[in-house]
Structure 1
Amino acid sequence: MKPGLHMFVAVLLFFSSELAQAAIAGPPFDPVKGTVKDKDGNPLPGVTIQIKGTSTGTVTQPDGTYSLNVADANAVLIFSYIGYTPQEVPLGGRSVIDIVLESSASELNQVVVVGYGTRRKRDLTGSVGSISGEAIAAQPVNTATQGVQGKLAGVQIVSSGAPGSQPQVRVRGTGSMLAGAEPLYVVDGVLTNDIRNINTADILTMDVLKDASASAIYGVRAANGVIIITTRRGKAGKMEVAYNMTVGWREVANQVKMANATQYTDYLKDAGPNVTIPDYGANSDWYGALLRKGFQQTHNVSLSGGSEKFLYYFNAGYLTDEGIVRANKYDRFTIRSNNEWNIADNLKFVAQVSYMHNTTQNVNLAEVYNNTYRAAPVIPITRDGKYGNTSAFQNVGNSILSIDKVNDRYKENRLQGTGYLEYSPWEFIKLRSSISANQGFQNRRRYNAVFLNDESTFLVAGGNQQRPESQLTMVKEEGTEWIWDNTATFQQRFGRHDLTVLAGFTSQQYEGNYLEGLRRNVPNSPDMWYLIAGDPNTSTNTADGDKYARRSWLGRVNYSYADKYLLTVSFRNDASSRFPSDNRNGYFPAVGAGWVVSEEPWMPKDGALSFLKLRGSWGRIGNDNIASNLYILTANSGLLYFFNGTPTLGTNLADIKDRNLKWETTEEYDFGLEFAFLESRLTGEVNYYNKKTKDALVTVKIPGLLGDPDNEYTTNAGSFVNRGWEFTLGWKDNLSDDFSYNIGGNMTLNHNEVTGLNQGQPLFRGGVGQQGNITKTDNGQPIGSFFVLDAMGVFPDQAAIDAYVDKNGQKIQPNAQPGDLQYRDVDGNGAINDLDRIYAGSYQPKFYYGINAGFNYKGLDFSMDFYGNAGNKIYNGKKAFRYEVTDNIESDYADRRWTASRPSATDPRVLYGNTPASTYFVESGNFFRLNNLTVGYSLPKNVLDAIKIERVRVYLTSQNLFTVKRFSGFSPEMISSNPKQDGFLSLQNSSSPLEAGIELSPYPTTRTYALGLNITF
């Protein structure tokens, strides 16, 4: 333990001891205990309880319980909680008083989880967004973050239609170039990068720590924001049994229509006049054969209840999602058990355990979508039980054959849990020790069956899509992560002073292994799909693994005076094994201050203004989400070289590493205004943030003198900034006991800019076939900006080509033909080349927004959510990625392209394989979507009483009902074209911000229709 922490703990214990002795030395107090809940039976933490006429008081614990020493048996207790109507309760000699507080309809005073503790939202000095579990579970989503889309300012969520996929999340912009841009997830104290194992029905609240002041308590893991998920617990009382289900289907929301046989034939007359087009009488719809309506269902059964000594919550859930791509399917089974034992009045033990098993029938989207998009419609998909051989006419495989002859199955098991012991030697001291574990096992079996032209396909001549040998690949991957947290919390109110002090130590370790084996000539029977059944002479084995550790010291002080002057100071020291020993320690301080202006006596008390708070904060946080070996030098031994003419075995370095790697660090300033008017019916929030990341990890080219000039190494040589504004506004009102309604919205404006990079070396990424890299990350531009030629339109005729000349009168595009794209000669040198590329925007939106509205009338409820963004660009990579002239084209392009009889000013006559990257392929990513529409009905109380059921609700819901957009591809909502879903076992996020926003082989965004049922007994 460091000297500073020694002194801190000593002072804390001395202070606690003095308070305890003062209490013992005073009058003989009798403790008054009880629980404070809301009208729905939920415990209320943070409720202030004060003895009337004195400065003595306390606050309720996270489970709503309290204990207060009272000397006067006739004293009056005041229970107050912002957002709830205060109550004055005469003691009357009682020692147990349970209270139910009525809500005053204020959302500014809900309790939120802030990391190693809770705070009332009105007392926060940092920026935190919150959403209830009910709002998430009300939507037919597989992963919790998908249900938050469009509901929180500063939080961009992009979801894929792929079953079992985890949406990509950006909190206040892109936070890293190479070290992963996804936020940290904390589930009941378990730190993870994957929450696909969390059943949405189990979630009580989700809190998003957006600024450095709020998230700095998590130090190294918090650079991209923190999402804290709290799962449900039992409530004292009789057992409650609940059943929730949804059943429906998903379909592609926007299908790209390809050219039919007639359009395709007309196009080839211009693009490939010497190509002989086969005539098999076919007009194939390849996407129609690939895509389908996928069945989806969820079922959840929960049991909860308990007594003063024991609380329990148990839930079992099952989910099936067929997916909209042929043969794709995802099944998930989850179990959760959350239990709490109150061993004594000041001692309790909590155990929270969850288990998930999922099975995924996978498809190779990169291969399947590429082939489907390019396949000629003149080739039949199947005929007489055989597959059309597209490769006999094109360099394209039959995508349906590829799917049908592959069995690719993932099986994953996840065990996640937390157990902690909490002891309060005095009512103002809470000691907690918790151990958390996260363990994952994944098995993959991919069997590629044999198929030959003469057996599985027709149109044999020239065909090359065949597999003469079967191939079996088996993968086993496992990872285990444990975290040990120890914290001490001091919480006390002295008159108008409210003080909470937290100190702690945490340790973490991860270890994982990866094994892969491959053999050929394995029999085509599932009972024989084992490596031992294959040819041992064709064996290939691969192994990998990782191990890293972190240890941290942390502390935080929350202070408020008169509930109007707020101060938060936190500090965390992290050490990570992912950096060299000299650079392992990172120091992450933060400070925030707030002023509740509405509490000032000079503020008007006419009732119009309910709440007004100003706050500001500063903090520093880090990022170590990189490979563990980036600074470790490796060597190749046993290499033969000649020394003085004599052959000698020697060793050389395999690569060049930066032995001085250090943390990426982000400093952020945040200023906010929170307000409520008209008895908190109108609420809102305005935030400004400025996040500056320095020492960003980027790649730098190795000088040619040191080896291959194409090689790169990773080092701290970048800096960039995200700054922006967030706006949130909401209105809620009850017009009568039977009718209430709400409407609200949020908007985020974000500006991302690289401010220092590689001593002037830009980063080129985003390969699109023969076009090469089409993104450039450089100073003064957003990360991953598109860098392409500027297409000014189409040459209408030869005269236009002849007229496009340089200052010397020479043709700038002498080889162009009428109908070709015309490119701007940016540098004025009379030739079109890479020096004429321009920045053409990026995938990062300039602003994104959400709108929500709803009402409740008696048993009827209605809600709708809209979501959209503007200012981002998408590169239509699949349209640009052309292998040969016989590739198919999109139907819209076929109708719009330039022809002699139908000149076009925008679309060229043909798209060749050598068509360069240009703004022609850069399209607007703006969209506006009806994200969710739900109509429900709950049976009235008299009917429920007659059938002896607590609650019955049925509802109809739809996701992504319509989208208004300009992008011609599958979806303008894109970060990564096809992100891998390695989840918890993944070393780092696999979707690189440097090459995002390129549509190559995306899983289409889906539209969902579902029927739901909620029953509580």
Structure 2
Amino acid sequence: MENISLHQRVGRRSVMLAYLLLFLFFQPALAGRAPIRITGKVTDGPSSVGLPGITVQVKGTSTGTVTDATGAYSLQADDNATLVFSSIGYTSVEIAVGGRTVINVPLAEDTKSLAEVVVVGYGTQRKSDVTGATVTIKGDELVKQPVLTATQALQGKAAGVQIISSGQPGSSPVVRIRGTGTALAGTAALFVVDGVLTDDISNINTADIVNVDVLKDASATAIYGSRGANGVIIITTKRGTVGKMTVNYTGNAGFRLPANLVKMANAAEYANYVSAASGNIVSPGTNSTDWYSQILRNGFQQNHGLSINGGTDKSTYFLSAGYYTDQGIVIDNVYKRFSIRANNDFTFNKYVKVGMSASYANGDNQIANLNTAYNDAYRAAPLIQSIEGSKYGNTSVYQNVGNPILDIKNNNNKATDNRLLGSAYLEIKPVEWLTFRSNMGGDWVNQNSRVYNYQFNNDTTTFINAGGNQRNPNSNLSVGNTRTFHWTWDNLLTFNRKFDKHSLTILAGTTAEQYTLTSFTAFRKDVPAAQNLWYIGTGNANTSTNDGTGDKYTRNSYIGRLNYNYNDKYLFTATIRADASSRFPSQNRWGYFPSVGAGWLISNESFMQNQHIFDLLKVRASWGRVGNDRIPSDSYTVTVQPNLAYPFGGGVATPGSAITQIKDPNLKWETTEEADLGVEFTALNGRLSGEINYYDKKARDLLINVKVPSVTGDADGVVLTNAASIRNQGLEFTLNWRGKITNDLSYRIGGNATLNKNSVIGLNGGQPILDGGVGANQQYTTRTDNGQPVGSFYVLQVLGVFQNDADVSGYKNSAGQIIQPSANPGDFKYQDTNGDGKIDDNDREFAGSYQPKAYFGISLGLTYKGLDLSIDAYGNVGNQVYNGKRGFRQNVLDNVERSMAYGRWTSGSGIQTEPAANSGNLQASTYFVESGNFARINNATLGYKIPQVILDKVKVSSVRVFVTAQNILTIKKYSGFTAELPGNPTSQGIELNAYPTTQTYAVGLNVGF
């Protein structure tokens, strides 16, 4: 110190004084700087689905929180802090605050786990936390297919979900989740679109969908109580995201072609068959008409969608419009749909948020008279020319069958519907761990129908030469209008806290809904043929008839759910829903539907940390009950029928009223109880993933008709009551593999399979249900009875074909009686099941059902640089179908299939499977029951993304062109048009007038700006 000069000492002291002054000057400001409140939402990747349970930590501190059920969070931090967003199943993200008060974060999924977010009833959960059986399908996978609804595109993509689709334009497929669980009550799955409950999503543009989440077991669906018995499908549509406005277009256009057509006998083959059947020589002539080719065509289809997306921290928006056209493959058949959507969200402050979703769709369906035309095309003689000059060929020259073309042309059947589906919500978050949400939704539908039948006479001077049953001496017009309105109102409170290793979410609330329907129809004859005069008022007032009906029911519910997670290892879920339905009498109005589930994340245990096979391994088990109230609203109410004539003394009829039906005043809920056990895993660094489920699903107190003593005025002697049980047991398997060969070349392969056993396990005094009538000689073909699947075929057993007279006389019972004494060589030999020496309905046996024993889906994908290829396949095995077309033949002059003409029995042929040429009117037998097994390539799509370096020059963000094909190849045993036959459970699987399977070939374009 002695060596330091005075100047140096003064200098040092001056610097120290300067630092001290600076510190004192800024110290008040530093001391007064308070942490800022930061809010935001964590979402799953590019979608707007909120992620619950995401940890938000201030880096380097112990300060943090977790996101609530909607993905929202709120915490305090310095303006220069860094936030860390992390969760099992997602790649961690660090974001500098930079003075911002709102930070929204999309997290990328970590493919090494199953922790993707899924939508469950009234909320969301991480997939790894779910204890019920659910499956998620991304909207990007569904939009590839040129179909009307997302339901059609689901086919083959989810284990336990059977989709039975029709090629008819405007039609919605049948959905069966884990088998058929009822006989007479409704079987449709429940759809939930942005919180609104509905039974149909044909109004939803597939391009607007982010995710489809399927809730399969009772534990997952119990939160929906009375609506959950048949499974729940939750549709989440796209919402706006923060950022500059983006514009996206997606569309495709192409043609639909008939597939798997049945070959009918030509003129020569027909003449030969009829000659043999009738004993009269029939000349084939010079004409040979293929009637199916006359009513079928290649139909044009197109689908276009345009959307706008964007927003700020305070408000976001998603707007879209779509146009869909499907001509169908039947002449004069076309369906059009125009749809628009608006989804908006507004954040007022950290406490209050509101939003709305609204969609409008207009459907216009020109319906072809396929039911009659298809039957006539099958039966009409090929000898008749379809059109003779200016007139239609008269097919009734040979039999009472109409001209199939005229079946379609002689009427104009049009249906239009306008539908508005929407919801609005208010969300209040007074504190970080508590959220109140009120959601009001509505589904309004207005449908109009108009059927005009032209006047057709057998006057050769007119344009039309109508014959047989096509004569129509008077034109007529039928009009109808149906209006429905369904509203729901949910009020929910969600508590979400994390305490050290404990995570707890509690949901409680109420929900109410009401459905109303009004419908009327009117009819008049002699309405002029000019379309501008197709109104009831222009017809003959003396021929007017009118009718009307309606319906109204309400539900009121209380719901609660608890989700508990300990240390990301042990999971527990409990749910309760109490439902009251006006469809039941007051003493049975309330139903209570509980569920519990537990899960164990084995892969998070310490003893699993050093293994290198499983990335995630979870076992789960659940149990739950759900209900079904889909019965007519007056099922328990006895009504009086007025204006009945009562004869008194002298034969004079006096008008009066009477009770003409028996009803059970104590009807109660159909209840489904289900146990589920599952294993989920990912392995080998995320390349392999899979799931195995076992379920046991019992539906009890099912509605069925029970025989009762006849009473005055009662025609049937049966009453609808709760007296049956149905059981579905099954196994589900899902396996997916993702691999990368090079940095540019990657692939995926996946598949799922479902094994299901369906059986009626108790009618409890109920009468077996006979259904599936085919023609005059086959009054029923199915029987729903104990120990058999619902809607099992119940027919005579064909043992072969009688080869000669000795065969006929030698077929005897144990008592020596000839069983079929009136049979001829070439006739079917039927089994005398009960041994009474005759063939009648008492000899019928069960011969399988339409319900498959197994169904499966396969998916393949390949990506190389900008190229992408995907192939999907679907099929089922172990079921039967009934060839009702053959069973409906009623006349010796009816046409036959080519295989019947060539493969028929003739003397000395030894053929045992096809009878001799006959006039039809055969009894219901195993001859008509065929294998329903099939496998089909559902879709193949090849796409190419234009390189970004090229798009940057024209300021376009993305362009993808693609070609796609639907139903490319079907391998099936069934000889008819299609083995996919939608219908009611007790009569399903009978092909009479099924719309043929169609193939579609289209090109498409996706563009983003």
CA contact (8 A) 1:268 1:886 kept: yes
C-alpha distance in 2 between matches for 1:547 and 1:230: 28
- Classify 1:354/1:458 alpha carbon distance in 2 versus 1 (closer, same or farther; 3 Å): closer
Task: Report matched runs for 1:275-314 at 5 Å.
Answer: 277=282, 281-314=286-319
Determine if the alignment matches structure 1 residue 66 to structure 2 residue 58.
no
Describe the SS at the equivalent of 1:391.
helix
Deviation at 1:460, TM superposition (A): 6.9
Give the letter aligned to residue 379 of structure 1: I
Provide the residue aligned with 1:382 in structure 2: 387
Deviation at 1:55, TM superposition (A): 6.8
Give the letter aligned to residue 621 of structure 2: G
Give the letter aligned to residue 998 of structure 1: I
CA contact (8 A) 1:392 1:459 kept: no
Deviates more, 1:313-322 or 1:755-764: 755-764
Give the letter aligned to residue 953 of structure 1: R
Determine if the alignment matches structure 1 residue 623 to structure 2 residue 628.
yes
Provide the residue aligned with 2:378 in structure 1: 373
Deviates more, 1:277-286 or 1:538-547: 277-286
- Classify 1:348/1:183 alpha carbon distance in 2 versus 1 (closer, same or farther; 3 Å): same
Deviation at 1:149, TM superposition (A): 0.3
C-alpha distance in 2 between matches for 1:483 and 1:63: 20
Provide the residue aligned with 1:855 in structure 2: 862
Deviation at 1:629, TM superposition (A): 0.8
Alpha-carbon deviations, 1:399-440, whole Å to 9, x = none?
211211211111110011000111100111111111111100
- Classify 1:894/1:123 alpha carbon distance in 2 versus 1 (closer, same or farther; 3 Å): same
Alpha-carbon deviations, 1:844-901, whole Å to 9, x = none?
0000000101011100000001100000000101111122111111111111111226
Give the letter aligned to residue 141 of structure 1: V
Deviation at 1:91, TM superposition (A): 7.1
- Classify 1:540/1:38 alpha carbon distance in 2 versus 1 (closer, same or farther; 3 Å): closer
Give the letter aligned to residue 430 of structure 1: T
Q: Which one of 719, 722, 725 corresponds to residue 731 of structure 2? A: 725
Determine if the alignment matches structure 1 residue 450 to structure 2 residue 455.
yes
Determine if the alignment matches structure 1 residue 636 to structure 2 residue 641.
yes
Deviation at 1:905, TM superposition (A): 1.8
Unpaired runs of 5+ in structure 1?
A: 1-26, 977-991
Determine if the alignment matches structure 1 residue 545 to structure 2 residue 550.
yes
- Classify 1:637/1:685 alpha carbon distance in 2 versus 1 (closer, same or farther; 3 Å): same
- Classify 1:377/1:511 alpha carbon distance in 2 versus 1 (closer, same or farther; 3 Å): same
Determine if the alignment matches structure 1 residue 756 to structure 2 residue 762.
yes
- Classify 1:950/1:478 alpha carbon distance in 2 versus 1 (closer, same or farther; 3 Å): same
- Classify 1:809/1:572 alpha carbon distance in 2 versus 1 (closer, same or farther; 3 Å): same
**Identity of matched residues, %:** 52
Give the letter aligned to residue 552 of structure 2: K
CA contact (8 A) 1:392 1:460 kept: no
Provide the residue aligned with 2:802 in structure 1: 795
Alpha-carbon deviations, 1:580-624, whole Å to 9, x = none?
111111100111110101111112433321000010001000001
Determine if the alignment matches structure 1 residue 110 to structure 2 residue 116.
yes
- Classify 1:655/1:133 alpha carbon distance in 2 versus 1 (closer, same or farther; 3 Å): same
Deviates more, 1:757-766 or 1:700-709: 700-709
CA contact (8 A) 1:318 1:332 kept: yes
Deviates more, 1:477-486 or 1:29-38: 29-38
Q: Which one of 415, 421, 433 corresponds to residue 420 of structure 2? A: 415
Determine if the alignment matches structure 1 residue 959 to structure 2 residue 959.
no
- Classify 1:639/1:93 alpha carbon distance in 2 versus 1 (closer, same or farther; 3 Å): closer
Task: Report matched runs for 1:295-694 at 5 Å.
Answer: 295-455=300-460, 463-637=468-642, 651-694=657-700
Provide the residue aligned with 2:9 in structure 1: none
Task: Report matched runs for 1:45-56 at 5 Å.
Answer: 45-46=51-52, 47-51=54-58
Number of matched pairs: 974
Describe the SS at the equivalent of 1:336.
strand
C-alpha distance in 1 between matches for 2:559 and 2:70: 24
Q: Which one of 233, 236, 248 corresponds to residue 254 of structure 2? A: 248
CA contact (8 A) 2:164 2:981 kept: yes
CA contact (8 A) 1:45 1:63 kept: yes
Provide the residue aligned with 1:232 in structure 2: 238
C-alpha distance in 1 between matches for 2:803 and 2:950: 73
Deviation at 1:459, TM superposition (A): 11
Alpha-carbon deviations, 1:387-408, whole Å to 9, x = none?
1111232111112112112111
C-alpha distance in 2 between matches for 1:413 and 1:158: 26
- Classify 1:642/1:936 alpha carbon distance in 2 versus 1 (closer, same or farther; 3 Å): closer
- Classify 1:74/1:474 alpha carbon distance in 2 versus 1 (closer, same or farther; 3 Å): closer
Determine if the alignment matches structure 1 residue 191 to structure 2 residue 197.
yes
Give the letter aligned to residue 335 of structure 1: I
Specify the structure having the higher radius of gyration (Cα).
2
Provide the residue aligned with 2:26 in structure 1: none
Give the letter aligned to residue 481 of structure 2: K
CA contact (8 A) 2:68 2:496 kept: no
Unpaired runs of 5+ in structure 2?
A: 1-32
C-alpha distance in 2 between matches for 1:688 and 1:823: 41
- Classify 1:63/1:309 alpha carbon distance in 2 versus 1 (closer, same or farther; 3 Å): farther
- Classify 1:208/1:471 alpha carbon distance in 2 versus 1 (closer, same or farther; 3 Å): same
Deviation at 1:73, TM superposition (A): 8.0
CA contact (8 A) 1:702 1:709 kept: no
Alpha-carbon deviations, 1:468-498, whole Å to 9, x = none?
1000111111111111111111111111111
Determine if the alignment matches structure 1 residue 994 to structure 2 residue 986.
yes
Provide the residue aligned with 1:164 in structure 2: 170
Give the letter aligned to residue 1004 of structure 1: P
Describe the SS at the equivalent of 1:573.
strand
CA contact (8 A) 2:964 2:1003 kept: yes
CA contact (8 A) 2:48 2:240 kept: no
C-alpha distance in 1 between matches for 2:298 and 2:765: 52
Determine if the alignment matches structure 1 residue 937 to structure 2 residue 929.
no
C-alpha distance in 2 between matches for 1:838 and 1:378: 39
Determine if the alignment matches structure 1 residue 1007 to structure 2 residue 996.
no
Task: Report matched runs for 1:965-980 at 5 Å.
Answer: 965-976=972-983
Describe the SS at the equivalent of 2:754.
strand
C-alpha distance in 1 between matches for 2:747 and 2:415: 45
CA contact (8 A) 1:56 1:495 kept: no
Provide the residue aligned with 1:888 in structure 2: 895
Deviation at 1:66, TM superposition (A): 2.4
C-alpha distance in 1 between matches for 2:102 and 2:363: 47
Deviates more, 1:84-93 or 1:941-950: 84-93
- Classify 1:715/1:760 alpha carbon distance in 2 versus 1 (closer, same or farther; 3 Å): closer
C-alpha distance in 2 between matches for 1:642 and 1:262: 60
Q: What is the alpha-carbon root mean square deviation over aligned residues?
A: 2.3
Give the letter aligned to residue 681 of structure 2: F
Deviation at 1:457, TM superposition (A): 7.9
Give the letter aligned to residue 943 of structure 1: I
C-alpha distance in 2 between matches for 1:86 and 1:526: 65
C-alpha distance in 2 between matches for 1:824 and 1:959: 43
Task: Report matched runs for 1:816-835 at 5 Å.
Answer: 816-835=823-842
Deviation at 1:102, TM superposition (A): 4.2
- Classify 1:34/1:583 alpha carbon distance in 2 versus 1 (closer, same or farther; 3 Å): closer
- Classify 1:907/1:540 alpha carbon distance in 2 versus 1 (closer, same or farther; 3 Å): same
Deviation at 1:82, TM superposition (A): 2.4
CA contact (8 A) 2:937 2:968 kept: yes
Deviation at 1:761, TM superposition (A): 2.5
Deviates more, 1:586-595 or 1:813-822: 813-822
- Classify 1:675/1:634 alpha carbon distance in 2 versus 1 (closer, same or farther; 3 Å): same
Give the letter aligned to residue 68 of structure 1: L
Provide the residue aligned with 1:24 in structure 2: none
Determine if the alignment matches structure 1 residue 916 to structure 2 residue 916.
no
CA contact (8 A) 1:701 1:709 kept: no
C-alpha distance in 2 between matches for 1:712 and 1:303: 58
Deviates more, 1:720-729 or 1:344-353: 344-353
Deviates more, 1:808-817 or 1:124-133: 808-817
C-alpha distance in 1 between matches for 2:70 and 2:562: 22
CA contact (8 A) 1:932 1:960 kept: yes
CA contact (8 A) 2:891 2:921 kept: no
Provide the residue aligned with 2:25 in structure 1: none
CA contact (8 A) 2:268 2:284 kept: no
Q: TM-score, normalised by structure 2?
A: 0.93
